[in-house]
Structure 1
Amino acid sequence: MPTITDLTIYPIKSCAGISVSQAIVTAAGLCVDGVHDREWMLVDLQGQFLSQREYPLMARICCTITAENLYVNYDDMPRLVLPLIRQPDNNSEKSIPVVIWEFALNADDAGDTAAVWFSQVLGKSCRLVRFSEHAQRFANTKWTGDKLVPTRFSDGYPMLLVSQASLDDLNKKAIAQGRTQVPMNRFRANIVLDGIEAFEEDYAETYSIGDEIQLRPVKPCPRCPMPAVDQKTGEVGPNPVDILQSYRANPIVDGEITFGMNVIVENGIGHRLSVGDEVEIAIAF
């Protein structure tokens, strides 16, 4: 029976993820102890989002969740503390315009202390923003149909699912070419599924977990240069997407190289996903 073998949330877009044993399903993605996936994001002084594509060392910025705070660490820098409880009367949480891909919205500025901290880490003036409680951003209805699907600062969809067999298939080809295997974290999935064939996730219609949760894959995930970034060191090396180019060009997305599926929630908002959960897959014919 297919099972969930890993759940990961990324509190700050493009920074290190947190592997967890359980997470709550929300319409906009996974949530752990009140912290949502891609709830924070770094932007330059013009409001454009920053990512590992330009700043690979972001992979080494790590987060820890407690009941009251999100703690952020990087090498020998003093730990940054981000309170989870919003303080609307605090001037540090003023709304500022930001842009993620083609989408413009207002986000809550996390204050000067955070801005100085991240600017020092990246060597570039930037600010940290948090997805506003009043903001709305939706996935592309070209792929979700008539369903309005909220998302925060993800690249475009609430969750990304990858199968372990797909990674194993890639690594077999890497070894055959004399290259080093890559871990799953290069692909920054939220859900890792084992017990299915390589790339079987491409053909799923729905994933059902228990009696409550049903997820629906809507779009294959096109791949950018980020899988070349070692998530432990922040160093850029050979890109595993180069190997995928020989067999993963996907006509559904104009020939882009895909790995993993973006999924949305059909049922089960508020319910809990756990590592070890069995998953029933309906195949689309």
Structure 2
Amino acid sequence: MPDVAELTLYPIKSLDGVSLPEVSLTAAGALLGDRRYMLVDAQGRRVNGKRYAQLHRLRAQFDPGLRQVQLWGDGQAAQFDLQQERDPLQTWLSNWLGFPVQVLEAPITGFPDDPYASGPTLISTSTLEVVANWFPGLTAEELRQRFRMNIEVSECPPFWEDHLFAQADQGVRFRIGEVELLGINPCARCGVPTRDPITGASYLGFQKHFVVQRQKTLPPWAEVSRFDHFYRLGLNTWIPKTEAGKKLRVGDPVEILAVEPLSAYPELSRTPQQPL
């Protein structure tokens, strides 16, 4: 049976993650602290790695309570309390980026990449290892930083997570420890995985080669109808409100329970918010 090998949160969207031994769930079915903060410019437009490759050069380190952040890059460094020093933090980031930014906060929902499947993302260690072999010079650790997933599972074959989505009107109910989740769809990827996570430099031909290899190695258990394109990797999930306050822990077993119609979850509905 697969189990959880690593849990990673990304407190400030697009910046470095932090690995924790356990994570609580909010009332919105999000991991507490994940993508809690997001940068926007003076016009309210999102400032993220997808749009600004220079963010890859900015390092961030958080304390275990996710209240303090150390930032450094391009010869500059500073430390801030995320709750008490918001204005100085915004000023420092604005100076570092070269244009004004504001730090927004969403403590309950976070700022998920997919507002429909707004739960944690999931991938297997063996998948990262196989995909790394597609690209000379890359390692599983670097792929881990490029794809930025929340839950990593081990003790399973490559692409095992493709068991966890079904047809478009269905979800796969599964359990991690004490938490029940619903697998929704394979993650559509953006330009971030094509870049070096430290320098922001592009890997020439990354997306094209990935698509060819992903299609060639798609496992027989994957629901092929969910691949309108093959630049997809990992799983998007949704978690019902009944799981609020429960915890995911490293070492928790992962068990598939059932394939169910999405109509069984009336609270799961598309929102007008657009993907980030």
How far off is 1:255 after superposition?
2.1
1:51 CA drift (Å)? 1.0
Counterpart in 1 of 2:269? none
Q: Secondary structure at the match of 1:115?
A: helix
Find the counterpart in structure 2 of residue 96 from structure 1. none
Length, aligned pairs only: 236
**Residue 220 (str. 1) matches residue 195 (str. 2):** no
Equivalent residue number for residue 81 of structure 2? 82
CA–CA distance in 1 between the matches of 2:107 and 2:249? 28
Taking structure 2 as the reference length, what is the TM-score of the superposition? Answer: 0.75
Alpha-carbon spacing, 1:43–1:221, altered in 2? closer, same or farther (3 Å): same
1:2 & 1:264 partners in 2: Cα distance?
A: 19
* RMSD over equivalenced CA pairs, Å: 2.6
1:123 matched residue in structure 2:
98
Q: Distance in 2 between matches of 1:209 and 1:41?
A: 28
**Quick check: 1:160 aligned with 2:121?**
yes
Q: RCO higher in 1 or 2 (8 Å CA, sep ≥ 6)?
A: 2
2-side partners of 1:202 and 1:223: how far apart? Answer: 15
Aligned counterpart, 1:229? 195
Cα deviation, residue 118, structure 1: 0.6
The answer to whether the 8 A contact 1:222-1:259 is kept is: yes
Unaligned runs of 5+ in 1: 86-91, 93-109, 134-150
Give 4+ residue runs of structure 1 displaced > 6 Å after superposition: none
Question: Does the 8 Å CA contact 1:164/1:192 hold for their aligned counterparts?
Answer: yes
Counting only pairs closer than 5 Å after superposition, residues 1-285 of structure 1 correspond to structure 2 as 1-26=1-26, 27-31=28-32, 36-59=33-56, 60-65=58-63, 67=65, 69-75=67-73, 76-84=75-83, 110-111=86-87, 113-131=88-106, 151-156=109-114, 157-174=118-135, 178-181=136-139, 182-204=142-164, 205-210=172-177, 212-238=178-204, 240-248=206-214, 251-252=225-226, 254-255=228-229, 257-266=231-240, 267-282=242-257, 284=259
CA–CA separation in structure 2 for the residues paired with 1:7 and 1:187? 14
- Taking structure 1 as the reference length, what is the TM-score of the superposition? 0.73
Distance in 2 (alpha carbons) for counterparts of 1:203 and 1:219:
10
* Residues 89-127 of structure 1 deviation map (CA, whole Å, 9 limit, x = unaligned): xxx9xxxxxxxxxxxxxxxxx43x222211122122222
Question: What is the CA distance between 1:197 and its match in structure 2?
Answer: 2.1
Query: Sequence identity of aligned pairs in percent?
Result: 28
